[in-house]
Structures are given as C-alpha cells and as structure tokens.
Copies of this chain bind each other. A is one copy, B any other.
Amino acid sequence: MKPLGIAVLGSTGSIGRQALEVIRSLPGRFNVMALAAGSNVTLLEDQVREFRPRFVCAGREADYLRERLRTGAVGARWAEMDEMAAHADVDVVLVATVGAAGLAPTLAAVRAGKAVALANKEVLVMAGQIIMAEARRSGAQLRPIDSEHSAIWQCLWGERADAVARITLTASGGPFRDMPPEELARVTAEEALRHPNWQMGQKITVDSATLLNKGLECIEARWLFDVPLEQIDVILHRESIVHSLVEFRDGSVKAQLGVPDMRLPIQCALTYPERLPGVSVPRLDLKLIGALHFSAPQLRQFPCLGLALEAGRRGGTCPAVLSAADEIAVQHFLAGHIRFLDIPRALDDALNAHVPVMSPGLEEVLGADAWARSFAEDWVKAKA
C-alpha cells in the first residue's frame, strides 16, 4: 500500500506529539507531508529533521526556524496551514491546533474532501453547522479524536443513522468532583491542574475541572453525529474507562472502553477503517479495576456545564462566544487574576451581553469570537 500523506497541524502540542508517536509506530503507513506548530519551535525543528515534511508552518517563530533549517539539508517549503490541509498529496489532515486557529485549515481540508482527524474542539463548537454542511457537500470524513467522541464514533460503526436514540458522554468530574460547592471558591490554579485521570494541556485541564469542557463536547457531538442536544446526556464516571455510550432506539446500549490514553483515539482516527496493533498501550483489565462508578453531575457544583448547554440550546454564535470568553477567563485564572468561580460568572455575563447571530457565516463566527475575547478581557480588568 502506498503511504498516506498526512498533515499534522499543531504538531508540538500534546495531541500532535502523540500523533507523531503513533505515526512512528506504524512505519511505511504514513508519509508526513506537512508539520505546523504555533509554539515550541525547538521541538518543531526536531520534528522537521526527523520526518522531513514537504511543508512547514511555524507561526510567529518562522524566521528563527527558517534560519536554523537553512544550515541543514532540510528542503521543506513554507506554507500556510490551509494550503497544507488542501494539498493534493495530503490524504489525512490531523487538526490538533488550539482555539480558533484550527477553523480555517479544517474548513480548507473539509472543502477538499480530506479525511479530517479533528482534535481541535473549538472548530465544531464555533462553526459546527458550517463545517458539517461543507463535509456533506464534499464527502469529507470527520474523524473525532477526543476520547468521548471517538468512543461514540466507534459505537456507531455499522449502525444506521436513524437508530440512535441517545448519546451519553462520560465525564471524570475532574479534581473537584467530590468537593462541596461552597469550597470551590477557594481552589487554586495548581489544584485545578491536577487532573485525576488524564494528562492534557492546561486550558483543557481547567475546562475539565469546571466541566465546561463536557458542555463543549455536547455541542461538538451534536454536530458530529447530527443528534439534537436534547438527546445528549452527561454522566459522571470517575474512572474514565467507559469513554462514552450510545443508546439505540431498540434500547440496546453500546460503549467504548479503554485505559485513558489519547494515543488510542488518535490511532483509531488515523488508521480508520482498520484497527492496527500500533502504539503499545496497557490493555484494559476490568478484573483489576474492579468497579466502574456512574452518577449524575450536579449543575450547582458545575455551573459551566449548564452554561455550555444553554449556549448550545441558544445556538448561532453563542457557543463561539462561550468558548472564546472561557479561553480568556481561564488564562486569567491560571495567572491568578481571577478566582475559579469567576470563570462561570464571566461566561454568564458574556453570554447575556451577546446579541447572537443565528446561522452565522465564518466572518460572523470570527466576529463573535473577537467580541467575546474583548468582553472577557474587560470583565477581568473591571474585576481587578
């Protein structure tokens, strides 16, 4: 088989690095055609030297990298991410960028009919309707990389679209799942970054502590699987072994399980429809785990979850506003400028101040994103 051309966008982040590990474990299967990273240029340089991509994109530090690579025998060309994503020799595009950065390249890849392995949550939260409409038009396939959406996706293989009755996303509950709501006011950034089950980036780790992340995932699921938000549930599952569940209309439920290791969903998205013994991860042994626990999340304890679901119900540009305001609020929480419970307050205020545009185009989505960032910055300043 001819190796598949792959573009890895966001190659120096947590997902990007693990994706390259998966690619390394499957020699001959992929040809890394393009690498893009917005930060950590020294790691990007190593990756370029190892994988010899045809295209490189290095964001703000492009000049530094250009200088460094000139001395070697590396013949990579410079390109923008959306150019890489749509290139004829690229078959699979991994979008592991963060925030709004993934929007344009995802759209370019989708329009070009690529297989798009999507780890950039904000893309569908902000522009799910636009992306999915383009995918239906071009025949592009979206393959989710989030463990929850990968689970749902896997449970839907071989099932008919009209058979789905309900999707249940599991949530570990993060570090504060057992904390009484009144104590949440005092938690620190350090405590919020101590996720019990998953090793992830800082922003998503805080979003897991507020459960905003789970609310955004409900919105993502709504677009990815074309299921109304009313048929999407969240359940607390502290062990993070059952990654999500699908209930079908005959009452049967399917779940996907595994040790919490992002390399599994990454590999699944990259090698679909095959399953390969690529990366070596510990096997799931339920006998050792002993028990799996499930409970209902309390909105009083996790107000961000309720806010995200509300933004999803309002629709239009509301989810984009929520997501952008959260990015700013979390930055300031991590920097110690605001407290943990200020995050939902800022989001609530942003949502209420926003005048949503229904069925927005890309420009309007980006406008709402910019508005929300500015709103949240002002909110934090007013607070200080």
Interface residues of chain A, those whose CB is within 8 Å of chain B, are: 154-160, 163, 165, 168, 235, 237, 242, 245, 247-259, 261, 264, 267-268, 271, 273-278, 281, 283-284, 286-287, 289-296
Contacts and interface: CB of A to CB of B under 8 A. Distances in A.
A155 B296 CA distance: 26
Contacts of A253: 256-258, 284
17 contacts: A157-B159, A160-B274, A235-B286, A242-B255, A245-B257, A249-B277, A251-B259, A251-B261, A251-B264, A251-B284, A252-B264, A253-B256, A254-B256, A287-B294, A287-B296, A291-B293, A292-B292
B281 A251 contact: yes
Q: How many copies does the complex hold?
A: 2
A273 B158 CA distance: 9
Which of A261, A271, A275, A296 has most chain B Cβ within 10 Å? A275
A268 B254 contact: no
A170 to B, nearest CB: 9
Contacts of A257: 245, 252-255
Contacts of A245: 257, 286
A163 B274 contact: yes
Given A160-B275, A249-B275, 8 more contacts: A158-B158, A242-B255, A250-B264, A251-B258, A251-B281, A253-B258, A255-B255, A289-B294
A261 B76 CA distance: 60
Contacts of A293: 290-291
A286 B296 CA distance: 9
B154 A157 contact: no
A155 B248 CA distance: 13
Contacts of A256: 252-255
A252 to B, nearest CB: 5
Given A159-B275, A290-B294, A291-B293, A154 B283 contact: no
A168 to B, nearest CB: 8
A295 B284 contact: no
A14 B273 CA distance: 39
Given A257-B254, A258-B251, A160 B294 contact: no
A257 B257 CA distance: 12
A247 B283 contact: yes
Contacts of A251: 258-259, 261, 264, 281, 283-284
A256 B275 CA distance: 19
A252 B248 contact: no
Contacts of A168: 286
Given A158-B158, A273-B160, A286-B235, A268 B252 contact: yes
Contacts of A276: 249-250
A250 B278 contact: yes
A30 to B, nearest CB: 15
Contact of A155 (B254, B284, B286, B292): B254
Contact of A159 (B158, B255, B281): B158
Given A235-B286, A248-B275, A254 B291 contact: no
Contacts of A296: 287
Contacts of A261: 251
A290 B259 CA distance: 20
